[in-house]
Structure 1
Amino acid sequence: MINSDSNSRQRERTRAIRARMRLTGEPYVVAARHHDAEMRRKAADRMPVVRCPQCSEGTVEVDVTPACPVCGATWDSGAQLAVEYAAEFLGLDWHSSIKDGGAPPTQDCPDCGEQAVVTVRSKDTTFWTRMCLSCATPWNESCIRCGAPIQHREDGDSLACHECWQDAIARD
């Protein structure tokens, strides 16, 4: 199945390059270079961007010490940044979540264990995903049983987190 998907993507790429050649008159190599550069740009535009919850202007560098290059704000951890981000941009806070039963502002990251996963937008502002603001791992799906962030994979894997999957296997 993986090989079939790879072949399908390769055929689609070749068709797009040939269409570009017809439109522009470019040789295959040049058309391929331009096509691939455009695909990389589009993929970069879909990457999550963490806006600064203090100034709303800067893009926070999510690393060991998260910081905004525009206003200079820093956070002690990605979890602290996530709570502030969720309150400012998503209107979510722990008090309301517990009191009113609403959505929690942050979730635990399956990779690093920090409670720093929040919903963020991409650069082109049309794509939303969840991202850990401690380890910068993007998450594109939720576990169908518990709602934990997971990565949906193209190979058709189940949409359950590891813990729920193990629990389901143990019950059989």
Structure 2
Amino acid sequence: MSNKIQLNMLENGFDFILKSFDDLDNDELKYTAIHLYSGVLLVLKERLYHIGEELIFENPKKFNKQSLKNGNFQSVNFNTLLERLSEHNASISEEFKTELEWLRSERNKMEHFQVNVRLDALKSHIVNILVHLIPYIKTELVHNDLLDEDDEKLQVIISYLHQYEEYVQAKLNTIEKDEGIKKKIIDGLECPLCTQETVFIDGGEAYCYFCETKFSDFKEAYINENFNLYEIIKDGGTDPRNECPDCSSESMIYLEDSLSYICLSCGVLYSYEQLKACARCEVNLAYSNDPYEPAFCDYCLDFFKSG
């Protein structure tokens, strides 16, 4: 059992972020900025806390359990927080840092002075911060088993963002600009959670670059979301799953939008012209080198050889 004190920093951070959404809906962008900044910092402090309790003290030498429990200590400041995260390989990206520094500056002005900021500019910065925040939460907290991916407040945050048009467009633009990600994404394959065509499959592992979800069983999630196998079996419909000629799993499906076949297990991709129904059994898919010549699956080829 962990001997760390439960500070509820992450829960409080999520509360601030959710409050910022209420402000955003009411065009209270001043308070959106203030609450969002506070929420993001608490999320980052939570990550630092799991690296070392004493690190969230501005002066780690003054660390003691009772002060931590009572909240009677000087918490790490913004610059020190980012430095320590970087020192322990949990740093935020330069783009994220730049956006946070801008928000920090504007938030300080808003708290102490009358500030005139263009609403569209402020909203743009807020959206950019959120675009960087979710991947950080997933990578540094969820994927390190410090936060359950199904955490209720996290899911409320993600659900809100996936319905917020400015966020969706900004996130897709970020993906579009990354050539490395664009080459990995499978055209026509929708994520079963967010419905965006931003999924990458490699060697049995699948990841969505839009909702930042790492799937333990992408095949099951995709099939359950897109097909009702019970009704197909009951009513005599066509099972969408085919045997993959590469890994032999019943995971190969046809993507109508991109005219291609994709294996939901191993990720191998074939164009419509590269595969066709076996000319003998008419069940399994077979490699096709010539559209005018019959193609045979491995099972039928073995049958011919044995005869």
Could you say which TM-score interval applies, normalised by the shorter chain? 0.5 to 0.7
C-alpha separation in 2, matches of 1:156 and 1:169: 23
C-alpha separation in 2, matches of 1:137 and 1:106: 14
> Does the 8 Å CA contact 2:244/2:250 hold for their aligned counterparts?
yes
Alignment gaps of 5+ in structure 2: 1-182
Q: Are 1:69 and 2:209 matched, yes or no? A: yes
Letter of the structure 1 residue corresponding to residue 278 of structure 2 = C
Of residues 193, 201, 207 in structure 2, which corresponds to 1:54?
193
Which has the greater radius of gyration?
2
Q: Are 1:100 and 2:238 matched, yes or no? A: no
Structure with greater proportional helix content: 2
> Does the 8 Å CA contact 1:129/1:138 hold for their aligned counterparts?
yes
Relative contact order (C-alpha < 8 Å, sep 6+): which is higher? 1
- Name the residue aligned to 1:163: 299
> Does the 8 Å CA contact 1:143/1:161 hold for their aligned counterparts?
yes
Of residues 238, 242, 260 in structure 2, which corresponds to 1:129?
260
Of residues 131, 136, 153 in structure 1, which corresponds to 2:289?
153
Post-superposition offset of 1:120:
1.4
> Does the 8 Å CA contact 1:58/1:69 hold for their aligned counterparts?
no
- Name the residue aligned to 1:31: none
Aligned-residue CA RMSD (Å)? 2.7
- C-alpha distance 58-128 of structure 1, shift in aligned 2 (>3 A): closer
Alignment gaps of 5+ in structure 1: 1-43
**Local SS of the residue matching 2:265:** coil
> Does the 8 Å CA contact 2:192/2:222 hold for their aligned counterparts?
no
Number of equivalenced pairs: 117
- C-alpha distance 58-49 of structure 1, shift in aligned 2 (>3 A): closer
Letter of the structure 2 residue corresponding to residue 110 of structure 1 = P
Post-superposition offset of 1:157:
5.8
How do 1:4-153 residues align onto structure 2 when only pairs under 5 Å count? 48-63=187-202, 64-84=204-224, 87-88=225-226, 92-121=227-256, 125=257, 127-139=258-270, 140-144=275-279, 145-153=281-289
- C-alpha distance 138-157 of structure 1, shift in aligned 2 (>3 A): farther
Letter of the structure 2 residue corresponding to residue 138 of structure 1 = L
**Local SS of the residue matching 1:107:** coil
Structure with greater proportional strand content: 1
Q: What TM-score does the superposition give when structure 1 sets the normalisation length?
A: 0.56
Percent sequence identity over aligned pairs: 21
Post-superposition offset of 1:108:
2.1
C-alpha separation in 2, matches of 1:142 and 1:82: 23
